[in-house]
Amino acid sequence: MSYFPLGRPARMAVMASGRGSNLEALIKAFPHDNPLGHIVLVISDRREALALQKAVEAQIEAEYVPWPKERGREQFERVAGRLLHDHRIDLVLLAGFMRLLSPGFVQAWEGRILNIHPSLLPQFPGLHAQRQALEAGVSETGCTVHFVDAGMDTGPIVLQRRVPVLPGDTAETLAARILEQEHLAYPEAVRRVLKGEV
Tell me the domains of the chain and their CATH numbers.
10-194 (3.40.50.170)
In the predicted structure, residue 175 carries a pLDDT above the cut 90: yes
- Binding-site residues, in ranges, read 20-22, 73, 98-101, 115
Q: What is the pLDDT of residue 129?
A: 97
- Binding-site residues for (6R)-10-formyltetrahydrofolate, in ranges, read 73, 98-101, 115
Backbone CA torsion sign across 49, 144, 192, 108:
negative
- The answer to whether 143 and 153 have CB atoms below 8 angstroms apart is no
Judged by DSSP in three states, 38 sits in: strand
| Residue-wise pLDDT tens digits, 144-162 | 999 999 999 999 999 999 9
Q: Where are the beta strands (DSSP E) in 30-134?
A: 37-44, 61-64, 91-94, 113-117
Angle at the Cα of 52 (from 47 to 53), degrees rounded to 5? 110
Alpha-carbon span 118 to 142, nearest angstrom: 6
Closest CA to 187 of 126, 145, 141: 145
| Residue-wise pLDDT tens digits, 57-83 | 999 999 999 999 899 999 999 999 999
For the annotated catalytic residues, the residue numbers are: 117
Alpha-carbon span 105 to 88, nearest angstrom: 16
Q: What percent of the chain has pLDDT over 70?
A: 99
DSSP 22: H
| Residue-wise pLDDT tens digits, 99-138 | 999 999 999 999 999 999 999 999 999 999 999 999 999 9
In the predicted structure, residue 172 carries a pLDDT above the cut 80: yes
